[in-house]
Structure 1
Amino acid sequence: MAVKDACEILYRRLEPIRLKDPKGSWESWVREAHLQKISLSATGFFRGKDLYFDWDKMEGEPYSYFTFGVCCSEVELDCLTGDYRTLKTDMVMDIGRSINPSVDIGQIEGAFTQGLGLYTLEELHYSPTGMLYSRGPSQYKIPAVCDMPLQFSVYLLPDSYNPHAIYSSKGIGEPTLFLGSSVFFAIKDAVAAARSDSGLSGPFFLDTPATPEKACLACASPFTNKVPANKPGSFKPWALNI
Structure 2
Amino acid sequence: MDACCSLNPAIDIGQVEGSFIQGMGLYTTEELKYSPEGVLYSRGPDEYKIPAITDVPEEFNVSLLPSSQSTPTIYSSKGLGESGMFLGSSVFFAITDAVAAAHRERGIAEDFTVQSPATPEWVRMACADRFTEMIPRDDPKTFKPWSIPIA
TM superposition score category, shorter chain reference: 0.7 to 0.9
2:117 corresponds in structure 1 to: 209
Report the aligned-residue RMSD.
Answer: 2.3
Q: Which runs of 5+ in 2 are unaligned?
A: 139-146
Name the amino acid aligned to 2:61. S
1:180 corresponds in structure 2 to: 88
Q: Which runs of 5+ in 1 are unaligned?
A: 1-92, 231-237
Distance 1:198 1:120 in 2: 24
Distance 1:101 1:164 in 2: 15
2:105 corresponds in structure 1 to: 197
Q: Which has the higher helix share?
A: 2
| TM-score, with structure 2 as normaliser | 0.82
Q: Following TM superposition, by how much is the alpha carbon of 1:175 offset from its aligned partner in structure 2, in angstroms? A: 1.6
For these two proteins, the number of residue pairs brought into alignment is 139
Distance 2:53 2:137 in 1: 34
Distance 2:73 2:10 in 1: 19
2:128 corresponds in structure 1 to: 220
Larger relative contact order (CA 8 Å, sep ≥ 6):
2
Q: Given that residues 97 and 160 in structure 1 are in contact (C-alpha distance below 8 angstroms), is that contact kept between their aligned partners in structure 2? A: yes
Q: Following TM superposition, by how much is the alpha carbon of 1:159 offset from its aligned partner in structure 2, in angstroms? A: 4.4
2:53 corresponds in structure 1 to: 145
Q: Given that residues 29 and 118 in structure 2 are in contact (C-alpha distance below 8 angstroms), is that contact kept between their aligned partners in structure 1? A: yes
Name the amino acid aligned to 2:131. F
| TM-score, with structure 1 as normaliser | 0.53
SS of aligned partner of 1:221:
coil
Distance 2:113 2:73 in 1: 43
Q: Deviations over 1:67-89 (max 9, x none)?
A: xxxxxxxxxxxxxxxxxxxxxxx
Q: Deviations over 1:31-80 (max 9, x none)?
A: xxxxxxxxxxxxxxxxxxxxxxxxxxxxxxxxxxxxxxxxxxxxxxxxxx
Q: Given that residues 99 and 127 in structure 2 are in contact (C-alpha distance below 8 angstroms), is that contact kept between their aligned partners in structure 1? A: yes
Displacement over 6 Å in runs of 4+:
none
Name the amino acid aligned to 1:95. A
Q: Following TM superposition, by how much is the alpha carbon of 1:141 offset from its aligned partner in structure 2, in angstroms? A: 0.5
Q: Following TM superposition, by how much is the alpha carbon of 1:97 offset from its aligned partner in structure 2, in angstroms? A: 2.9
Distance 1:181 1:102 in 2: 24
